[in-house]
Amino acid sequence: MPAELTMLLVVACTNWKRVMMVLTGRGKYSDPMEIPSNQAHVPSNLKTLNQYSIAEINHRLKNYFKFLFVREPFERLVSAYRNKFTLKYNSSFHKRFGTRIIRRYRKNATQDALINGADVKFKEFIDYLVDPATQRDGPLNEHWQTVYQLCHPCHIHYDMVGKYETLEEDANYILRLVGVGDSLHFPSYAKSTRTTDAMTAQFFSNISTQQQVQLYKLYKMDFLMFNYSIPSYLRLD
């Protein structure tokens, strides 16, 4: 078992958690997909770096194979919006962020919207993101915080940066590299609901040029660091 593997989860979390549970489960699981997604998200099922002592953390940062997965910044953003604000299955983001966003950025909001925060518009989410007040409130939520601020690629020497765009290929490469590629494959998953470039362009078509410029500024470092080109739909002038 390759114990010497550490990771930071930014994209494709559920499937990586399943894979890590197979690797650390002492034979409890053999197939990642037999693990229900809610099980994969039970915090106690996986140990994170901050649960170790400083000495143990340093040992891991120094000796373990470290990898990071990134995604095109605006696809990641639209994906986060769709997952956290437009789906009904878990209302915790509606309550935590939706109510605040509607209170601040929607004029004449209904009582229901103010209480449940369940119908945040993409435009309102962007109003929230680019508002300097939001930055002053503290770090952004991990789902829309920039990867460079979340994962510190200049301080942590990742052995590999994988891309969501080539997720299966890159993930299986890692599994082979750490010696479990024969028995374990990264789960393939339905691509039908995936946020695409075309979908992202549609969401962006609804926000002003000024906000597009502000958003690009906010995520510029992620575009540059991870070699993503400026999307063709983006209006920057």
Ligand X SMILES: *[C@@H]1O[C@H](CO)[C@@H](O)[C@H](O)[C@H]1NC(C)=O
CB of 183 to ligand X, least distance (A): 30
| Residue whose CB is less far from ligand X, 48 or 202 | 202
Distance of alpha carbon 21 from alpha carbon 152, whole angstroms: 25
- By CB under 6 A, residue 203 contacts ligand X: yes
- By CB under 6 A, residue 227 contacts ligand X: yes
Sheet with 65-70, side-by-side order of all strands: 5-8, 65-70, 160-163
Is the separation of the CB atoms in 184 and 23 below 8 Å?
yes
- By CB under 6 A, residue 110 contacts ligand X: no
Interacting residues with ligand X between 52 and 71 (CB under 6 A): none
**Length of the chain counted residue by residue:** 237
Which sign, positive or negative, has the C-alpha torsion 141, 145, 147, 148? negative
Number of residues that bind ligand X (CB under 6 A): 9
Interacting residues with ligand X between 204 and 223 (CB under 6 A): 206
Contact with ligand X (CB under 6 A): which of 81, 122, 125, 186?
122
**CA 5 to chain centroid:** 20
CB of 59 to ligand X, least distance (A): 30
| Residue whose CB is less far from ligand X, 57 or 116 | 116
Contact with ligand X (CB under 6 A): which of 135, 196, 202, 208?
202
Helix (H, G, I), strand (E, B) or coil at 159: coil
- By CB under 6 A, residue 108 contacts ligand X: yes
Stretch that binds ligand X, among 49-57, 173-181, 200-208, 212-220 (CB under 6 A): 200-208
Is the separation of the CB atoms in 166 and 172 below 8 Å?
no
Beta-carbon contacts of 13 under 8 Å, excluding residues fewer than 6 positions away, are none
Q: How many CB atoms lie within 10 A of CB 81?
A: 21
Contact with ligand X (CB under 6 A): which of 88, 107, 136, 191?
107
Distance of alpha carbon 193 from alpha carbon 70, whole angstroms: 19
Stretch that binds ligand X, among 11-19, 53-61, 144-152, 202-210 (CB under 6 A): 202-210
| Residue whose CB is less far from ligand X, 26 or 107 | 107
Distance of alpha carbon 184 from alpha carbon 27, whole angstroms: 13
| Residue whose CB is less far from ligand X, 23 or 120 | 120
Interacting residues with ligand X between 16 and 35 (CB under 6 A): none
Helix (H, G, I), strand (E, B) or coil at 41: coil
User: Applying CB under 6 A, which residues contact ligand X?
Assistant: 90, 92, 107-108, 122, 202-203, 206, 227
